[in-house]
């Protein structure tokens, strides 16, 4: 049995690191066979990189993988269209989401493409993102292209 709470806590730590360094608090962890393959966080602000979302940073840090079909990606916030497309492209079979209260991503699109989507409704993820949106609406709106 996979310990979703354990790996989401690791993703949350990444989100918190981003928040503490002035960035958007989204963290992600890629797991294979109960082991972390890669972890990362949103670095759009820190690196001035418009595509450095949490999931993208995590996948970059994981490096090249022969296949993703035996992995699970954890993300503190529901994936945006770009990250959703990457998950579908790489055929990652399961996405565990910390929350989709503050931002409803593309859960149904993922499901329609055969991806198992698990929403943990994690209170820490919900609160951290809500806090960030209150404190930095300008950066949040930039992040979601509003």
pLDDT in tens, 75-84: 999 999 999 9
**At the fourth CATH level, which superfamily is domain 4-97+107-144?**
Cytidine Deaminase, domain 2 (3.40.140.10)
pLDDT in tens, 66-105: 999 999 999 999 999 999 999 999 999 999 999 999 998 7
Task: Look up residue 38 and give its two tokens.
Answer: 């890669």
Contact at 8 Å (CB) between 25 and 129?
yes
Query: How much is the pLDDT for 104?
Result: 84
Known catalytic residues are 55
Reduced to 3 states, what is the DSSP secondary structure of residue 145? coil
Q: pTM of this prediction?
A: 0.95
Average pLDDT on 128-142 reads: 92
Query: How much is the pLDDT for 1?
Result: 45
**Rounded distance between C-alpha atoms, residue 60 and residue 104, angstroms:** 24
Return the domain boundaries, the chain: 4-97+107-144
Contact at 8 Å (CB) between 78 and 95?
no
Contact at 8 Å (CB) between 42 and 6?
no
CA-wise closest residue to 61 among 34, 53, 69: 53
Fill in the DSSP letter of residue 77: S
């Amino acid at each position: 049995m996979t310990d979703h709470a354990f790996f989401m806590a690791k993703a949350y730590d990444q989100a918190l690191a981003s928040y503490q360094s002035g960035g958007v608090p989204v963290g992600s962890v890629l797991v294979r066979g109960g082991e972390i393959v890669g972890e990362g966080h949103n670095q759009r602000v820190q690196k001035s990189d418009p595509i450095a979302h949490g999931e993208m940073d995590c996948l970059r840090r994981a490096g090249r993988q022969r296949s993703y079909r035996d992995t699970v990606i954890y993300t503190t916030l529901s994936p945006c269209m770009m990250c959703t497309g990457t998950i579908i492209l790489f055929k990652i079979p399961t996405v565990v989401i910390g929350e989709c209260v503050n931002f409803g991503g593309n859960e149904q699109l993922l499901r329609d493409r055969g991806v198992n989507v698990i929403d943990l409704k994690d209170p820490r993820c919900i609160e951290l993102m809500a806090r960030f949106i209150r404190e930095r609406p300008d950066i949040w709106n930039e992040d979601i292209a509003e």
